[in-house]
A and B are shown apart, each in its own frame.
Chain A
Amino acid sequence: MSRRLRESLLGLALLVPSAIIFVWFFFYPLYRLFVMGLHQSNRTGTAERYVGWGQYSDVLTGHQFTEGVKITFTYVLYTVPLGLVLGVLLAVAANRRLKGIKVFQFIFSSTIATSVAVASVIFFVLLNPQIGYFSSIKFFSLANTDSALRGVALSSVWQNLGLTFVIVLAGLQAVPDEVQEAATLDGYGPVRRFFKVTLPLISPTLMFLAVVLVIFALQAFAQADILTQGGPLGSTETLVWKIFNSQQPIDQGVGAVMAIGLFGITLVVSLVQFLILDRRVHYGN
């Protein structure tokens, strides 16, 4: 056996454990989901029949799915840019060598420790149309179809802010002091320094956060479920909310198709983000 062949076989052998885990917990369920999308169950789930690709085309072009896509993408637009901007603002504010700054860094990052459920309950109290402190702010009102999604988005922005803050802060602290000082001596004021030096140098961090936050938003479910149960009038029914509510045996096929659809959307969006942003991101080397 040649040395080359031996090394190839060894390499494959070392890949086996992780391959098993991937196949078992990821590829097989994905395959099952795909097959489920080709079938329809009866009301009790005791029998299923093959309905074929027609179910895919019907569901993916149907009103329910396209409406879900629209709501989910609107939700991405509400949460990601605002979350990034606020995270960067907080991180820039807290990235100073001041006495007691750790206290602020702790407070700003504290939402990492809250779950979606906790965040949602907090905002349920704040925004609740009957008892909420902020119920008078129409822009975030959970009672109206045109503003309820913004209310839900607000709770997500708040909840993700800790993560965004911590990661941007780490990015900022990796920017060498001497580079900032060189920019100061070159005559750039704080604002110009931020846009000409700091922002390009933390762009890989922002790129990573943009991808993560988009994926978070595409998967949003619990905040909509807790705050509005998808309402009013289905105006906060995100894709995952719709998928989750298709769990009756008779709806399973439809839910499976929507899940595959969301998978495809997430894949394409992430690829596009990498392709577009990668060219504008500076990685140092």
Chain B
Amino acid sequence: MSEVVFDAVTKRFGEVTAVDQLTLSVQDGEFMVLLGPSGCGKTTALRMIAGLETVTEGELRIGDRVVNDVEAKDRDIAMVFQSYALYPHMTVAKNIESPLVARRFTVDGGGPPRKLTAAERSERVQQAATSLGLEELLGRKPAALSGGQRQRVALARAMVARPAAFLMDEPLSNLDAKLRAQTRIELVELHQRLATTFVYVTHDQVEAMTMADRIAVMSEGRLLQVGPPQAVYDRPHNLFVARFIGSPPMNTVPGTVVRTDTGTAVQLGGQTIGIEPVTAEPLAEGTSVVIGVRPEHLSVDPGGQVTAEVRAVEWLGHERLVVCDLAGHQITIRQSSSAQAVSPGDALTLAADPDHVHLFDPDTTERLN
């Protein structure tokens, strides 16, 4: 068990900066998800922890050890690759045993590290296989396994050396949707059982929201926001995070601050939507802002402030997504399927939950309220 700390870490490939001044501390035993679109630097960050990429600048620590110059095999970490990277010519048992063969381990509660005996190795393989339900498959080769089974073998191979931290690079992306949902739950349980630091890379915000203790959202090599899923969802620090997290994404519409009889409002096209006096400094009239409201915080309300025209209705069984046009911008409303039916062409009067109205600066994209 160890914490993993990035201290102003930068990684450059020639002219390209893949990771830019990343400062992030993953707590001991924490399930940290690095989330972002492809090319945001999350995988590079993970590979630096693994020792598969060097650190260009800054300091990377695992536990209390600076590992910038420590070889991958000496970092006491395990990694689950996107392709699982099983050895195709070895049986499942040999695959799982692999991390135990060449390295030395501190066993019997101390003493100098030594190689494990064949009996100790086989015992650990059995344990890992049992805990992931792989006993029956130990004699098979990876080609004879399903995708889900291969994924579990990769997990077992990662577990067997009892590493200080687990690194996972999109381990669910090759599974079908149903298996993915099931494996998410299993991974969370595995994390609780092992009580070890997990660093998990994904571009799928659902995986991030459902599994993470904390999410680190990255874009273009920079860290945009770190926090528990709920906090990141409720108070995104900037427009990118606001739009990236949540499905369907947050509605964001540009507007201008105006003064009205009742206080401050944002003007969108010809309509205004009132906002709470939330910022420390009141926004000057005429300031350009982007107003953001999540689909579930918009409701059809005769007493509402803006009207929008329905363009399409997506019925999902337990809920409905109503896609509307508001002053030339597409917005989405999430409704319970028991709400009054609407159809394309209807004009809806909408109210936004005032506690969940987000304001962003259109130039810096930073949060204003």
B-binding residues in A (CB < 8 A): 176, 178-179, 181-189, 192, 196-197, 200-201, 203, 282, 284-285
Contacts and interface: CB of A to CB of B under 8 A. Distances in A.
Residue among A185, A187, A200, A282 with most chain B CB within 10 A: A185
Contacts of B82: 178
A179 B143 contact: no
B83 A178 contact: yes
Contacts of A201: 88-89
Contact of A197 (B77, B87, B157): B87
A176 B102 contact: no
Contacts of A200: 87, 89
B107 interface: no
Given A178-B81, A178-B82, A285-B143, A185 B87 contact: no
A42 B146 CA distance: 70
B85 A176 contact: yes
11 contacts: A178-B82, A179-B85, A179-B86, A181-B52, A181-B85, A182-B157, A183-B98, A185-B50, A185-B78, A186-B98, A187-B73
B103 interface: yes
Contacts of B187: none
Given A186-B103, A200-B89, 19 more contacts: A176-B85, A178-B82, A178-B85, A179-B85, A179-B87, A181-B52, A181-B85, A183-B87, A184-B52, A185-B50, A186-B99, A186-B102, A187-B73, A187-B101, A187-B102, A188-B73, A188-B102, A192-B102, A201-B88
Contacts of A179: 85-88
Contacts of B87: 179, 182-183, 196-197, 200
B99 A187 contact: yes
A196 B86 CA distance: 13
B300 interface: no
B82 to A, nearest CB: 7
Contacts of B89: 200-201, 203, 282
Residue among B73, B78, B86, B157 with most chain A CB within 10 A: B73
Contacts of B258: none
Closest 8 pairs (CB-CB, A-B) = A178-B85, A187-B102, A282-B89, A187-B103, A187-B73, A182-B85, A200-B89, A186-B99
Contact of B101 (A181, A186, A284): A186
B281 to A, nearest CB: 51
Contacts of A182: 79, 81, 85-87, 98, 157
B72 interface: yes
Contacts of B77: 185
Interface string B224-248: 0000000000000000000000000
Interface string B49-92: 01110000000000000000000110001110111011111000
Contacts of B103: 186-187
A186 B73 contact: yes
A107 B88 CA distance: 33
A186 B85 CA distance: 12
Contacts of B157: 182
A100 to B, nearest CB: 15
A59 B67 CA distance: 73
Contacts of B78: 185
B123 to A, nearest CB: 18
Contacts of A181: 50, 52, 79, 81, 85
Contacts of B102: 186-189, 192
Interface string B132-159: 0000000000010000000000000100
Contacts of B81: 178, 181-182
